[in-house]
Structure 1
Amino acid sequence: MTMGFSGEVAEYYAKFRRGYPPEVFDALRTAFALTTGDTVLDLGCGTGQLAVPLASRVRSVIGMDPEPDMLRLAREAAVRHGVLNATWVLGADTDVRALGELMGQRSLGMAVIGQALHWMQHEELFRALSPLFRSGGGVAVVSNGTPLWLQDSDWSRALRACLERHFGTSLKASCGSDASDRLRYAQALEAAGFERVHEIAIEYSDELSFDQLIGGVYSAIPAGELPGPDDRPAFAQSIRQSLPPVRRFSEEVRVSLLVGRIA
């Protein structure tokens, strides 16, 4: 399946989506006792924000995504960073069983799903993944903070109101980042046979320029709804005028790692 993250949207995604602090990769390595002998799967890898940094910590990374443009940009990021041990595979969560047939059982140290599980059938996916891990391996569901338009700040509320007016819809979806989502995912992991399911939180403060903020917005708009190049300056100006008159927009980012292991 494709979610409309193609073309220019994928370009914005590669340039403006948040990366992850080193503490995230340290926590993943500790949670699953990852070594340079392990293979990990980044499912819904996007443009490689997790897969590329992970590559230096393990034997190999498989980045899997249903959008060809995302994979192209992930591959380019890997080349820029000198990553030679990543394989990029076109596929969705429904293709995991087929991937498992190719790889064999108990061959993965970890599967990581970053800010993408809300697009997937998570219960079926966890069941399909469970036979693929070595002992002590497992799944990490990573939520990289709250969407820009759902944060508890004046600028975020103003951004949400402006976007809702423009698109004529209510913006409530948390992209899998709120507590109720995490609880559903935790229960599904346990039902699929994962043990010691728990959450690890890493928090930090950040500041965004307006260009970073509007780029982050563009990265989340499906390609069919993205304002055209000629309309983008007016769209950006309408958002800028709705925001507080500041140069930098402060945010508190909470990265959540929901992890579950196979005995």
Structure 2
Amino acid sequence: MSRGFRGDVADYYQRYRRGYPPEVFDTLTTVFTLTTTDTAIAIAIDLGCGTGQLTIPLTDHTGAVIGMDIEPDMLAHARAAAGERPITWLLGGDTHLPHLIPLLGPQSVSLITIGQALHWMDHDTLFRTAHPLLRTGGGVAVITNGTPLWLQDTTWSRALRTFMENWLGRPLAATCGTDPATQQRYRDSLTTAGYTVHTHEITYTTALDIDQIVGGVYSALSPEQLPTDRDTFHHDIHRALSPHQPYTEHVTVTMLLGIRSD
């Protein structure tokens, strides 16, 4: 079932969604003892992989990587960006995860990552159905890559939120799973499903330009919501935000690491 990440939206997603800092992959490698030398014990699945921002760098840390997404256009971008990297791309979502057990075998996977996509999924069911796939010491990593551009604690972000709410005609409150209450629900759900849970945070500061902000906005809209006159839309956002330069973003990457210990 499509969630709207297709066509031009998938293009903007590929161009403007930021990647993950190297510390994310170092942490995954250490916590889940990933290795590139033995594919039999080093399979990683990136669920809801989008255009591959998390999937592609994983190939430097583990022996075999599977990227899964329900949007064909997202997978097409990911495949093109990956080039010759050894990644298997599958059209599917969280409800299809149990079908991988007869294909890969039980306890065959070291890591299942979900980056900025868990809010689209039934996390309680997902954590339970993932458990049989994972080897002892393997696990699930839920990674949120900063809060949405329009919900940050800066003057330019507040100006963007005001602009977008006026343009859409409704409040913008969805946090995409980054808020503390949702993070706690994910922790509790992982614990209930039998995982030992650790939390790791990585913070950094980066500078954005107006093209990155507008592109980030487009990547979060449905194709039907994209403005028909994008030059005017770009100009209007620039006019609304320009008094609040520079556009500094303080990013917190939160990693919930659920380890299978039995």
In the alignment, what sits opposite 2:172?
171
One-letter amino acid matched to 1:166: W
Deviating beyond 2 angstroms after TM superposition, the runs of 4 or more aligned structure 1 residues are 244-248
Q: Distance in 2 between matches of 1:54 and 1:107?
A: 17
**2:45 aligned partner:** 41
Is the Cα–Cα contact under 8 Å of residues 156 and 245 in structure 2 kept in the other structure?
no
Q: What TM-score results when the alignment is normalised by the length of structure 1?
A: 0.96
Whole-Å separation in 1 of the counterparts to 2:124 and 2:22: 29
Give the aligned CA root-mean-square deviation in angstroms. 1.0
**Matching of residues 1-263 of structure 1 within 5 Å:** 1-36=1-36, 37=38, 38-79=42-83, 82-83=84-85, 85-195=86-196, 197-228=197-228, 231-245=229-243, 248-263=246-261
Q: Give the secondary structure class of the aligned counterpart of 1:223.
A: coil
> How far, CA to CA, are the matches of 1:236 and 1:186 in structure 2?
39
SS at match of 1:207: strand
Return the offset for 1:248: 3.9
Tell me how far apart the structure 2 counterparts of residues 161 and 178 of structure 1 sit (CA, whole Å).
20
Unaligned runs of 5+ in 2: none
One-letter code of the match for 1:255? V
- Aligned counterparts of 2:223 and 2:4: Cα–Cα separation in 1: 5
Structure 2 length as normaliser, TM-score? 0.96
Paired positions, count: 257
Preserved CA contact (<8 Å) 1:209 1:247: no
Q: Are the equivalent residues in 1 in contact too, given 2:155–2:244 (CA < 8 A)? A: no
**Aligned sequence identity (%):** 52
Q: CA deviation at 1:31?
A: 1.3
Q: CA deviation at 1:59?
A: 0.7
Distance 1:16 1:247 in 2: 19
Gaps of 5+ in 1: none
Counterpart code for 1:70: M
